[in-house]
Amino acid sequence: MGFVPHLFKNTPLFIRTLTTVLIKAFCISVFASNVHATTTVLVWGDSLSAAYGIPVEKGWVNLLDEELGDDFTVINGSISGETTQGGLTRLPAALQIHNPNFVILELGANDGLRGIPPHITKNNLQRMIEQTKQINAEVILFGMKIPPNYGVAYSKKFEGQFVELADAYNLPFIPFFLSDIIENIEWFQADQLHPTAEAQPAILETILPTLKKAFKTKSTSVSKSLHQENSKDISSDEQENKAIKNAVKNPA
């Protein structure tokens, strides 16, 4: 608030001091309202998140939106057939437009099905993680598995890259979000790759504990920072209140 003394340099001291306190209180109020604003979650995935072959409203992303309620805004940026390269290309614009608090990163399955070298997939995922962190958003990483016919060596490298990234960046991580439905053939469409509408609630049940824990951890961190900031402001305000009293007793 350094501009205040210059702006009111010809006014009595107690008026200048009171004005400083009022402006500072307004700024704190605006900051607090922003902290408690709606939490935005961007889902960045492929057909498994884009509700391929089923009504969009029955997909797990829409079910997540309903589950989280009015305190959250869930944006589905998933595209069927998307690869990590495509996701990397699109992500900067999406981050700028939506400014999310969280990004659920669910990409890599189509890389695996196309036999893309795992190190390329890993590099693309790593760059998306770093881009997201640059705007102070949190990444929740979804791992993936591929059919066994791709060979043990390739499968091991493919699945391992997600674990390595989760460990390296200390990310909330779900190794395989289809784990609870994979053995039930009736929960997959005719292509045996995409879950049916009936399987979506089970997918949500699998991922929800990890998501809620991540959301709660972030919320607690922000609240702690706000509390520390408010404590500093209270101490500063006490000093300013004393200054006001002294100024009133001895006006300039």
User: Contact, 100 vs 42, CB < 8 A?
Assistant: yes
Query: Do the domain assignments include residue 229?
Result: no
Instruction: Write down the pLDDT at residue 187.
Output: 98
Q: Among residues 46, 47, 78, 111, which one is catalytic?
A: 47
DSSP assignment letter at 185: G
Instruction: Write down the pLDDT at residue 245.
Output: 57
Q: 117 by DSSP, 3-state: which?
A: coil
* Neighbouring C-alpha atoms within 13 Å toward the C-beta of 200: 23
To the query of whether residue 98 is one of the catalytic residues in this protein, the response is: no
Instruction: Write down the pLDDT at residue 240.
Output: 58
Q: How far apart, in whole angstroms, are the C-alpha atoms of residue 233 and residue 32?
A: 13
Q: How far apart, in whole angstroms, are the C-alpha atoms of residue 104 and residue 156?
A: 23
Query: Do the domain assignments include residue 158?
Result: yes
Q: How far apart, in whole angstroms, are the C-alpha atoms of residue 136 and residue 91?
A: 15
Q: Among residues 6, 33, 70, 191, which one is catalytic?
A: 191
- Domain with 64, as residue range(s), is 38-223
Instruction: Write down the pLDDT at residue 252.
Output: 53
Instruction: Write down the pLDDT at residue 59.
Output: 98
Query: Do the domain assignments include residue 150?
Result: yes
Instruction: Write down the pLDDT at residue 10.
Output: 55
Q: 211 by DSSP, 3-state: which?
A: helix
CATH assignment of the domain containing 183: 3.40.50.1110
Cα angle, residue 174 at apex, residues 105 and 202 outer, rounded to 5°: 100
Amino acid at 89: T
To the query of whether residue 47 is one of the catalytic residues in this protein, the response is: yes
Q: How many domains does the chain have?
A: 1
Beta strands in 160-246 (DSSP E): 173-174
Q: Is 140 exposed, middle or buried (0-12, 13-18, 19+ CB in 10 A)?
A: buried
Amino acid at 3: F
Instruction: Write down the pLDDT at residue 3.
Output: 46
Instruction: Write down the pLDDT at residue 5.
Output: 45
Query: Do the domain assignments include residue 235?
Result: no
Query: Do the domain assignments include residue 61?
Result: yes
C-alpha dihedral over 55, 57, 58, 60, to 10 degrees? 120
Query: Do the domain assignments include residue 230?
Result: no
Contacts of 170 (CB under 8 A, 6+ apart): none
Q: Among residues 80, 98, 155, 194, which one is catalytic?
A: 194
Instruction: Write down the pLDDT at residue 217.
Output: 85
Query: Do the domain assignments include residue 198?
Result: yes
To the query of whether residue 111 is one of the catalytic residues in this protein, the response is: no
What does the pLDDT profile of the chain (252 residues) look like in tens digits?
A: 554 444 445 555 555 554 554 445 444 444 444 444 799 999 999 999 999 999 999 999 999 999 999 999 999 999 999 999 999 999 999 999 999 999 999 999 999 999 999 999 999 999 999 999 999 999 999 999 998 899 999 999 999 999 999 999 999 999 999 999 999 999 999 999 999 999 999 999 999 999 999 999 876 544 444 444 454 554 555 665 565 556 556 655
Query: Do the domain assignments include residue 142?
Result: yes
Helices (H) and strands (E) in the chain, counts: 8, 5
Contacts of 115 (CB under 8 A, 6+ apart): 150, 154
Global pTM exceeds 0.85? no
Sheet of 138-142: strands edge to edge? 72-76, 39-45, 102-106, 138-142, 173-174
